[in-house]
Amino acid sequence: MLPSRPLSSLILISLSACLVVATAWPQEDPPITHMDKKELQKVAGALVDEGKTLEKQGDLDGARDKFLDAEGYVSTKDAIDGLNRIRDEKDKKSEAMLEQAQTDCTVGKPTDCATKLEAALLLGPQKPAALHNNLALSYQKGGDRSNALSHLDALIVATHDEKERMGFAELRTSLVTGTKLSTITPDLHKRIEDFNEAFAKTDNNPASDSQQTASSPSVTLCDRIKELQPGPSANPAVLYNAAKCAEEDGDAATSADLLGQYLRAAPDALDARDVQIHRDSLLALAALPGDTGAEVRAHFAAAARDLDYRRYDRANLEYQAAQQIAPSFALTYWRMGLMAEASANVALARVFLQRFIQLETNTDRKNDAAMHLASLDQWHTSYVENVDEAHDLMADLLTHSMGLDSEGVQRKSKLTKSQSKASAKTKMLLSASETLSGPFVRRQLEQARADLQDATELFPIAPEANEMLALLDLEDNDWPSAYRSFDAVASAGMPVSFYAQLYDSKDNKNIRATKIEIGRDTVRFVYLSSYNPKKRLSEPPAVPAGDDALANLAVSETNPPDMAAESTTISIGDLESVQTSQNFVIMKQRKEQTMLAPVYMVAFTPTEGKTAREFGNEYTRLFVRYLGYENAQLGKEGMTFGEKLKLGYQIYQTGMSIYDAVLTSGLDSYEAFLETRKLVGKLRTDLSSLQRKLADQRRVLEGLQFKAIPTEPVVLAYRDHL
């Protein structure tokens, strides 16, 4: 299958290995808001000088941090030039090492080749796809399928061409199963290609339930699998996919039998342990007698379907129903315990896992549950620390970006040449935000992401961490990842949120910095400040919104949205329309119109053309997916001829192409492995135990996932340039 959980830009993967922990804003000097322009330039200049010195000494990472620190005060050409030099130097070194490694790969020294390529990857090249390609090739030649798979996943995420991606997905299945392709008839080849094409579209489309229903083909993936008529001699991937479909049909016995056939057909499969554990669960389900057994299997099947759509709350309800029907069935408590653990609900996880130990008769499974119980408190402590650190970094950036730190102080807002030509309303909305240095913001967000990755590695669907991860993904225009994180938040019963500058037709003299909270049947605007464009003054509300004055950036059951804050709530029935207008979201009621300009910290927000409409459309889709407002009007995403000519400039202005951002971002298994290895030291545990506990969670949250079915051998070729 294609990677299921993209979270961060591949451009940042290698940089994270050498990232120096930094505070949100330099602390040695006076607060940045109390310094005039000359003071800011003086501090920035001194930091740039330090960076140049470190650069001459060959300390590229240290120099990079100094240049970025300088950008935190005021953006200068010297600092930007320094960052560009360091980037070019790193790419140059990686390119040289890539060429050196080619000789080892050519003469049959895959281990030596991989060592040099891994070193090149650690330098942090801007486009590491070639390195991941060659590392997958090297490890495959050396017989290390597991490491080859990790780098192949990274390559899939970084590949733009859909046909090439599908080929890599088929190669992935071959690596996992460890089997060779058998000869297939032209008719079977065509049916497999049809399945793979449908699979690719489904796997790459994280649209809302309503959109998936509207766009789904009349023939489902399981219908296509049935057409392939899996038998004892069938392709292992066909058997595996058929087992998934049988499980979701509630036929646990058939699913278990098909997984048994898969294990016999692929005895060296990398996922053999996962499959065997899942098969044991299905056998336990199949053994439940009578009507009770049939009802429990139906609820487990419904839960499996809900997990396909990341509807964790609904899956939990299905398990609860199964528990009421068969209160002594141990497997239900195991599933509910791990889902509670994954949500960071330590108290509930403890109750379910203890009950599982009481009911379970298998000693090994009892020990697995005891291992989870023993780590709960330590994991939660680490989780809270990481969430707090990420919160501080992100809160500082949002406070500066929305101008909340300059409330009561007259300030000037500098618009770009393109923005200055926009409509009066647009200029008003844009003038309410402060422009921060893109490179500096990205560095701070990288650190916040590293903290949140540590947090979600332990508790994958915890709402606080996922709320902030989703906001980071919005900054990267990485909407598939944002949806995955927001789904976890919504499943926890929390509103899905983003920040915006708000213009209201009833109050057309002020712009309000606002947190937009999208619930299941209401939208709530929580006001953080009011900015008067004519007076150039920003005033706070009478009572700060939430503990952090951001209406609680990270929300959970213990830290819910601040319902006492100054706010306006709109029910879904009061909405006449939600639509995209360029980069804005416009919400219309009978006598009122609200315009939202989403906060975008990493670069200037595009104001016209295809890029602007794509930007606005994604925020509009949030109302479709989470509010259930199905009549939203999206902006046209096609380009006029004139807009095509402007595209290069628009992409530069946005900071990255939205399409490229989706394809080149993700927490692939390579980075996931690095994160897990990092956690070993932090939690003072052994790698094997940690991996087992994380694998338990993953099996419960993901279940069986469709595999691409190989049709012909896919051979990687060595890439000699980045």
d(CA 600, CA 436): 10
Is the pLDDT at 296 greater than 50? The verdict is: yes
Q: Where are the beta strands (DSSP E) in 30-140?
A: none
Is the pLDDT at 610 greater than 80? The verdict is: no
Is the pLDDT at 20 greater than 90? The verdict is: no
Q: Minimum mean pLDDT among 26-40, 460-474, 633-647: which range?
A: 633-647
Which 3 state secondary structure label does DSSP give 717? coil
The pLDDT of residue 659: 27
What number of residues does the chain have?
Answer: 722
CA nearest to 608, candidates 600, 619, 616: 616
d(CA 219, CA 206): 19
Over residues 587-594, the mean pLDDT reads 89
Amino acid of residue 105: C
Residue 263: count other Cβ atoms within 10 Å of its Cβ: 18
User: Is the model more confident about 593 or about 659?
Assistant: 593
The pLDDT of residue 418: 56
Q: Minimum mean pLDDT among 129-143, 223-237, 433-447, 649-663: which range?
A: 649-663
Is the pLDDT at 474 greater than 90? The verdict is: no
How confident is the model over 306-329, as pLDDT tens digits?
998 899 999 999 999 999 999 999
Amino acid of residue 402: M
Beta carbons of 562 and 552 less than 8 angstroms apart: yes
User: Is the model more confident about 433 or about 111?
Assistant: 111
Is the pLDDT at 490 greater than 90? The verdict is: yes
d(CA 277, CA 173): 19
The pLDDT of residue 213: 36
* CA 350 vs CA 300, 313, 374, 376, 455: distances in Å: 22, 19, 10, 8, 19
Which 3 state secondary structure label does DSSP give 469? helix
Q: Minimum mean pLDDT among 153-167, 297-311, 444-458: which range?
A: 153-167
Which pLDDT band, with edges at 50, 70 and 90, does 28 fall under?
very low
d(CA 83, CA 653): 18
Residue 687: count other Cβ atoms within 10 Å of its Cβ: 13
CA nearest to 393, candidates 433, 436, 344, 432: 436
Is the pLDDT at 271 greater than 80? The verdict is: yes
User: Is the model more confident about 722 or about 305?
Assistant: 305
Which 3 state secondary structure label does DSSP give 232? coil
Which 3 state secondary structure label does DSSP give 228? coil
The pLDDT of residue 314: 94
CA atoms within 13 A on the CB side of 567: 20
User: Is the model more confident about 233 or about 575?
Assistant: 575
User: Is the model more confident about 220 or about 567?
Assistant: 567
Is the pLDDT at 171 greater than 90? The verdict is: yes
User: Is the model more confident about 106 or about 328?
Assistant: 328
In CATH terms, the fold of domain 385-663 is PH-domain like (2.30.29)
Is the pLDDT at 291 greater than 90? The verdict is: yes
DSSP state of 310: T
Is the pLDDT at 275 greater than 90? The verdict is: yes
Residue 90 structure tokens:
């790193």
Which 3 state secondary structure label does DSSP give 270? coil
d(CA 451, CA 535): 39
Amino acid of residue 664: T
Q: Please state the separation of Cα 568 from the chain's center in Å.
A: 30
Which pLDDT band, with edges at 50, 70 and 90, does 652 fall under?
very low
Which pLDDT band, with edges at 50, 70 and 90, does 673 fall under?
low
Over residues 638-655, the mean pLDDT reads 35
The pLDDT of residue 381: 94
The pLDDT of residue 584: 82
Which 3 state secondary structure label does DSSP give 571? strand
Is the pLDDT at 349 greater than 90? The verdict is: yes
DSSP state of 9: B
640-674 burial by CB neighbour count: b if 16+ within 10 A, else e?
eeebeebeeebbebbbbbbeebbbbbbbbbbbbbb
Alpha-helical segments (H) within 287-423: 290-308, 312-325, 330-342, 346-359, 363-401, 417-420
The pLDDT of residue 603: 63
d(CA 500, CA 531): 13
The pLDDT of residue 25: 45
Provide the mean pLDDT of the chain.
Answer: 81
The pLDDT of residue 681: 63
Over residues 365-374, the mean pLDDT reads 94
Beta carbons of 40 and 73 less than 8 angstroms apart: yes
Residue extents of the structural domains in the chain: 19-123, 385-663
d(CA 566, CA 551): 10
Residue percentage of the chain with pLDDT more than 90:
40
* CA 135 vs CA 151, 335, 392: distances in Å: 6, 37, 37
Over residues 422-441, the mean pLDDT reads 71
The pLDDT of residue 273: 93
Q: Minimum mean pLDDT among 20-24, 109-113, 166-170: which range?
A: 20-24
CA nearest to 492, candidates 645, 615, 315: 315
Residue 447 structure tokens:
């650190």
d(CA 307, CA 316): 10
How confident is the model over 376-409, as pLDDT tens digits?
999 999 999 999 999 999 999 998 888 887 666 5
Phi and psi torsions of 273, nearest 5°: -65, -45
Is the pLDDT at 654 greater than 50? The verdict is: no
User: Is the model more confident about 227 or about 678?
Assistant: 227
Choose the most confident range, by mean pLDDT, from 457-466, 597-606, 684-693. 457-466
The pLDDT of residue 641: 40
The pLDDT of residue 219: 73
